Amino acid sequence: MKQSYTTQMDAARKGILTPQMKQVLENEAISQTDLMEKVALGHIAIPANRNHLNIAAAGVGQGLKTKINVNLGVSKDVCSFDAEMKKAKMAIEYKADAVMDLSVSGDTEGFRKRLVSEIPVMIGTVPIYDTLTRTGKPTQDITIEDWFETVDIHARNGIDFITIHAGLTRKCATSIRTNPRLCGIVSRGGAILFEWMEKTGNENPFYEHFDRLLDVCEAHDVCISLGDGLRPGAIKDSTDAPQIEELITLGELTKRAWEKNVQVMIEGPGHVPLHEIEMNMKLQKKLCHNAPFYVLGPLVTDIAPGYDHITSAIGGALAAMHGADFLCYVTPAEHLRLPTADDVKEGIMASKIAAHAGDLAKGIKGVEELDHKMSKARGKLDWDGQFDCAIDPEKAREYRKSSQPSGSDKDVCTMCGDFCAVKRVENLL
């Protein structure tokens, strides 16, 4: 039977409950009516390309658990697709919600196809990068057809969401010159488009031909993640004129996408001091009509290379608390190198903690149950019960095993030993 809807948004507006919506309902404490209403409005996105056949769909947006994304992909200097596939499978093992392939070298299409066939979570890409890799052309020689051919390839490959920096217009680019920054443009996609516009004198092709982009996305049900090409790369640059000007444009493009039943997420800032995070979240929701918000961190200080998964988790927890729907993980290798598998695990755990902390603060129904279960196990010195509740049971078991109490009482730990508060009080209570 011929499909009677084009996208998840189109289905919701027609009152059709899709298989992907059913998958979301299985994992979220939201009613069917509420889910379909929010998908129809654009307040929830379900990125699920119809060519990604094995996807276990997830929802991103209002009233749902905060999701986390894992970035991976090869560079010219570190080019092992097998190693990146191991990272992707690690992301699944540790229950990440999405994987983004940011590869900029080698057989990128072959790797994308492999990801789509083997990885069941939503998969994102940045076609702007891949246009340079695929064509091998200098930036200024890229044609409009080149840009859109790449988007079409990614859509046909089964990619669920694509980051497109459509809001970085020539006007916004001028704002960078009149509002100097400490770190300028730190987005790779933003920098590529800025260079292309500067050298060709043309408008951003994805802004000028946005309807063409929407046609491709509607045809395959690809969610557009409207990228923040002018996101701040330093806390000094946070919430400046270029960032806000681009955000206003993204809000306008969001409405145009929804008119064509194309799902949208908005990408948010990278480096934001703590006291500006709440304002940034509320400003995005206001200017972009409550579209799902995907934040890159945010990092709350600039001085912690090697520990940026921690600075990101601090910002991510606060961002989630104030309305962010999707956190892009940051690893200890941020700003320093391509992350290793160990870095990926550290980044995933930090982001999962941030997302869960944010969900507790937002009052997402049911998320506190595991915390209460952990507390009960701790109150009984039930170590196996604690490990079962732990976000990383393997690490918790290793720490416990590495230092055992020397006395006759094996229930306590080597931090307190005979001074264990739980042990002293349990019989009294």
Token pair belonging to 177: 């010159």
Beta-bridged to residue 327, according to DSSP, are 68, 295
Cβ count within 10 A of residue 231: 27
150: which 2 tokens? 């790449």
Q: Which of 16, 12, 96 is nearest to 58 (CA)?
A: 96
Copy the structure tokens of residue 357: 């902390």
Q: Binding site residues for Zn(2+), as ranges?
A: 271, 335
> For every residue of 361-381, which 3-state class applies, written as one string?
HHCCCCCCHHHHHHHHHHHCC
In 303-426, where does DSSP find H-type helix? 308-321, 341-362, 369-379, 383-389, 393-402, 421-426
Nearest to 17 by CA among 28, 8, 26: 8
Q: How many C-beta atoms lie closer than 10 Å to residue 174's C-beta?
A: 12
In terms of DSSP H, where are the helices of 6-80? 8-13, 19-27, 32-41
What gap in Å lies between CA 5 and CA 19, rounded to an integer?
12
> Which residues is 264 bridged to in the sheet?
224
Rounded (to 5) percent helix, strand, coil in the chain = 50, 10, 40
Residue list, annotated binding site: 71, 100, 129, 165, 187-189, 228-231, 267, 271, 294, 335, 413, 416, 420
> Residue 306 carries which side chain, given as an amino acid letter?
G
3 state DSSP class of 52: coil
CA dihedral 384, 389, 390, 392 (to 10 degrees): 90
CA distances to 72, 75, 147, 156, 200 from 112, in Å: 12, 15, 17, 11, 30
DSSP states of 60-126 = EETTSPPEEEEEE---SSS--HHHHHHHHHHHHHTT-SEEEE---SS-HHHHHHHHHHH--SEEEE-
Q: Given the structure tokens 């700003």, which residue do they identify?
A: 335
Residues belonging to the binding site for substrate are 71, 100, 129, 165, 187-189, 228-231, 267, 294
CA-based angle 8:32:39, to the nearest 5?
A: 30
| 379: CB partners within 8 A, 6+ apart | 422, 426
